[in-house]
Structure 1
Amino acid sequence: MVTNYKRLVWAIIIGYTMLSIALLTPALVLLSVKIINIDPQNYTYTFGLCSAFGTAFAIIAPPLGGSLGDHTKFKFGRRRTWILLGGVIGAVGMLMMGLSKTITPLIIGWIIVQFFYNIAGASFAGLMPDQVPEEKRASYSGIIGTAQPLGVFFGMILSSLLNAKYPTVLWIILAFIGILGPVITCLLINDTPANNIAKNKKSFRETALSIYPSPKKYPNFTKAIFVKIGVLMGYGATSYITVMLAKRFGMSGNDAGTLVSLINLGALVLTAVASIVGGILSDKTKMQRPFIALGGLTIIIGLLFDMFATGIPFVIIGSIFVALGFGIFNSTDASLVMRVLPNPNDAGKDVGLMASANNLQGVLIPMMAPMLLGIGSWYAFFGGLALFVVIGIIVLYMIPEDPRYKSKKLGDVKVEKEVEEEVK
């Protein structure tokens, strides 16, 4: 049973925004503060260890969560089940973190938060192939793309109001928000159990190999993953702006952090607007590649401003371009992903693999940063990440355009069927 489109959009905007508040506020602010308070002498090592464990489970969780939904036959629904369970169990991890006095329960709590909130997030994403009509997917992608920026925005407000004087209260509020959002979504949407499709029994090896769709049989799925990784590597450079301001321009840590917070608040608005407008235009024009490419090129322009920055205004302008580019990319990327999914019966798992690709830049950039900075300082850092975006755009044009656009352009109904076969 499909949910009314407007009702579905509101249900996911509310639920996914609240889940993003719960997940991203610790990731961006609270985790580092908590570690400084618990283990100030070994902060760098402990923060790296905690982040590494969290990121590892954030990469594992989405395809697992999507696959669980693909095969869940509870009457409550295949996506609703894991949206709710992910929110509830993730909240337990949040409380562990907030109440922890030592590093071990903090790390365990962060693993639980990352794993189960990302399972819930993958289940939110699985609702698109399940319930959103193809002709509305870019608009939907653009609107839903505002959830994470909104989550960051409201999370920063909560953090600034409560973290200094009432940190434990803040952790409890975040745990409550992480449950309330999924509950609201589950109350508003319709959902059904997984289809009862007979499947041949597979060996362990066959099951393991089927986790990732065959690149030979479904090449466009793999290409779409490379596009996503390439563009997001460029966007991930924003995580190093604070460090650059301190090292390159001699700002104090507090001043750099304050400036970046202000930049990020403005960037969130630009990202949200670009995401909504880009999604609507993509559905109107029935094109995807030009919008994704435009997003990537806009990010490259921003990285060039950062690369050759001689003062703070250049950094601000660069951040504006990166935010706009990410919003444009985000508006259409998900609809491209939906179009190249190999098997509707494994849609949740495959969307989860794409979500894992989102998280890879959080691992790859910290690994590459010391090498790039050692080779050529910030020129090599921003230039190297811009090169990833270029590669992503090149791979993008190896994926056929939306069949609806090609058939409309050529005025041939048969073309649509031909291109659909080509996409598969």
Structure 2
Amino acid sequence: MSLATLGMSVAVLTPIQVLLPLQIEAIDPASKVVNLGWITTVAAIVSIVVCPIAGALSDRTRSRFGRRRPWVLGSGLVCAGAMAGLGAQHTILGVALLWAAVQAGTNAMYAALTASVPDQVPVRQRGLVSAFVGLPVPLALVVGSFLVTAVVTGQFGAYLLLAVLLLVLIVPFLLNPLDRPPAAPPAPAPFRLRGNSDLGWAFGCRFAIQLANAVGTLYLLYYLRDVVKHPDPPQAVFVLIVLYTAGVLLTSVIAGRWSDRTGRRKVFVVGSSVIVGAAMVVLGFGQSWPSAMLAAALMGVGYGVYLAVDNALITEVLPSEASRARDLGIVNIANTAPQAVAPAVAGAVITALGGYTGLYLLAGVVALIGAALIRPVRAVR
């Protein structure tokens, strides 16, 4: 599961941080911000639609190959094919269409992979396991950024390498014999945020944290180039990702295990949200290379705790065992919808307030709102 998550994350996160901004800038330098914004918005909308549908179909799959593995394999092939095509694109429309296909593939894979945690892991171990499943996300940023900046620097070769890496890393999951559908599954319960207040509050918290993260990182490469005036923005992004990943590695597993032992989830989510908000404030007021490095380290510390514990918390407030992939696919809207909202929010804030300070302060406030939203959850301490 960790390896498959690493492959999925490399495929979807590396282009957002490095390849897509550079590719779009090369095609149309004058409109790079606008084009990056609407392309990521369209892809996010595709993700919102695809993830719950693929998850519901995965829940209903009763093949000899399992119910999660067929979707991991199929979505992996779709994603890898789209990545290979993306590397050969030299038009904005072509980039938009193929990036939407990549997002469709990775989100179908996400629904199947995340459902495997509650499928196979008891509640008392989900914090620790969620940490190990979440660790590949920041690690993917380091691996992917290193590969496309130091190993393969050409556009087509970089995308193709990521596609091949994705296919290789999902193979161990495809060989996992534990993926078996229940012999007599119960009927799936309707998904209702309104009728499940705990899930609604958890959904709102995740949406806020992911919105803060999306607003804060979408234009990071441009921020480093235009505000910090770093001489090598792609390399600077890689350094920040390394610092961020170091923070995640230091905190994620420890927080997940500590949360399992104490039986508490909310205090970890609140604390991590506050740290993420602090990182955004540092970015907003610092506007220098040292402050950017400090913010990256803080973000890693906070997000490492959040990744481990929030994922475990969500699995404990799902309404039905028979519809886990569907429900997690719907909850994933809290991950993907901010990607659609962030470009509009970020563009408006940058235009209205005349710079990045207001943007990052807004992201910090949104993170604090996320901390407040998790407190009313009752079923989980």
CA contact (8 A) 2:227 2:287 kept: no
* 8 Å contact from structure 2 (residues 256, 308) kept in 1: yes
Contact kept, 8 Å, 1:291 with 1:328, in 2: the verdict is yes
Greater Rg by CA: 1
Map Cα deviations across residues 243-274 of structure 1 (whole Å, 9 max, x no partner): 4444444x15x444433321221111211221
* 1:338 equivalent in alignment to 2:285: no
Aligned-residue offset at 1:194 = 5.7
8 Å CA contact 1:64, 1:352 repeated in 2: yes
Q: Which amino acid aligns with 1:286?
A: G
Superposed CA deviations along residues 281-302 of structure 1, whole A, max 9, x for unmatched, are 1111111011111101111222
- How many Å separate the matches in 2 of 1:130 and 1:350? 13
One-letter amino acid of the structure 2 residue matched with residue 398 of structure 1: P
Q: Work out which of the residue numbers 56, 70, 73 in structure 2 matches 1:67.
A: 56
Do residues 76 (structure 1) and 65 (structure 2) align? Answer: yes
Please give the residue correspondences for 1:13-412 in structure 2 after superposition, counting only pairs within 5 Å. 13-39=2-28, 43-164=32-153, 166-193=154-181, 196-197=184-185, 210=190, 213-236=191-214, 237-249=216-228, 251=229, 254-309=231-286, 311-373=288-350, 374-375=352-353, 377-400=355-378, 402=380
The aligned length equals: 379
Q: For 2:84, give the aligned amino acid.
A: L
Q: CA deviation at 1:340?
A: 0.6
Letter in 2 for 1:299: V
Helix, strand or coil at the partner of 1:73: coil
TM-score, length of structure 2 as denominator length = 0.90
CA gap of 1:367–1:336, structure 2 versus 1, over 3 A, is: same
Q: 2: distance between equivalents of 1:331 and 1:342?
A: 21
Identity of aligned residues (%): 22
TM-score, normalisation: structure 1: 0.81
Q: CA deviation at 1:351?
A: 0.9
Retained in 2: the 8 A contact 1:227–1:395?
yes
Deviation, structure 1 residue 179 = 1.9
Offset at residue 189 of structure 1 (A): 4.1
Q: Partners in 2 of 1:38 and 1:381 — Cα distance?
A: 26
Looking at structure 2, the residues matched to 99 and 376 of structure 1 have their Cα atoms a distance apart, in angstroms, of: 36
Aligned residue type for 2:218: S
CA distance in 1, matches of 2:367, 2:93: 38
One-letter identity of the residue aligned with 1:113: V
Verify the 8 A CA contact 1:289 1:401 in the aligned structure 2.
Answer: no
SS of alignment partner, residue 175 of structure 2:
helix
- In structure 2, the gaps of 5 or more residues are none
2:263 and 2:236 mapped to 1: Cα distance? Answer: 39
